A = this chain, B = another copy of it.
Amino acid sequence: MSPQKLATRNDYKVLVDKYDTFLFDCDGVIWHGSKAIPNIQSTLSMLRSRGKRLIFVTNNSATSRSDYVTKFAKLGIQAKTEEIFSSAYATAVYLSEVVQFPPNKTAYVIGGSGIRKELQEVGIATMGQDDKAPVDLSTLAEIEPNSDVGAVVFGIDFEINYRKLSNAHINLMYNPDCLFIATNDDRTLPGGKHVYPGTGSMLSSLIHSTQRTPLVMGKPNKPMLDCVMQKYHLDPARTCMVGDRLDTDILFGIRGGLSTLCVLTGVADEASILDPSAPQVTYYMDSLGDLSELEMTL
């Protein structure tokens, strides 16, 4: 079935009635950088007032869920920690609930404070944050596997260095059963006018040096969705994934068997949505903010 454009109040109503839960990507859907998409606050209030469950799903692993709540508040949106599902939190859920990470083991983390915070909140100790000392050929051999390390967790880390990469490498190579988990594999990271190397690019170093394949949690990969579905006991038939990118958000929804809605306020344009070789969305519309028209009809 080709993508259906939603453009009238009736279209919006049919959409909203059909689903109990909406999963949202944030950047390009809810906001652009530090600016809310017009009418987004009223759209979200309207959905809440109709008893819909809202879950914000982000590949960002640098920010913890509580920091996200603060960001939402600054944009005039009330959100609860439980409504936010980041790739860092998904990693914590996966380690603590899916693989039952042994309590005597530690996660070696390449990543920011967001991911450490999420792991620590589920009781998983982390190391790596203090690995800042320079290394050279004469001191390299000091970097040895540590049998306490049960997983290497990789997310965006603006303080990445050769010592951290070597520690992660050596544990993945020589430490039996050491898990290899990446929060996401985004190739690039948007930063104003340009894009910069993303988690997936930095991760390539470690994939290449260890010849190991990490489990990637974030969109468009399935593990994060499995965590979301399991955590909230969602019915895929009554859940819709809303995003602005076909290759991450929409593919993520499709892989999870969900309906999908692509908005035109971010990366995808109408031509790419209608391209039959792209992941096929269920619905698309100009802006999620347009749903606020339903507010008056409640």
Contacts and interface: CB of A to CB of B under 8 A. Distances in A.
A201 B194 contact: no
Contacts of A161: 159-161
A166 interface: yes
Interface stretch (A138-146, A223-231, A279-287): A138-146
A52 B290 CA distance: 81
A272 to B, nearest CB: 18
Interface of A: 62, 134-137, 140-141, 143-145, 157-162, 165-166, 169-170, 173-174, 187-189, 191-198, 200-202, 204-209
Contacts of A135: 158
B189 A140 contact: yes
> Assembly of this chain: how many copies?
2
A176 to B, nearest CB: 15
A186 to B, nearest CB: 10
Given A161-B161, A162-B158, A205 B201 contact: yes
Given A134-B159, A159-B134, A144 B194 contact: yes
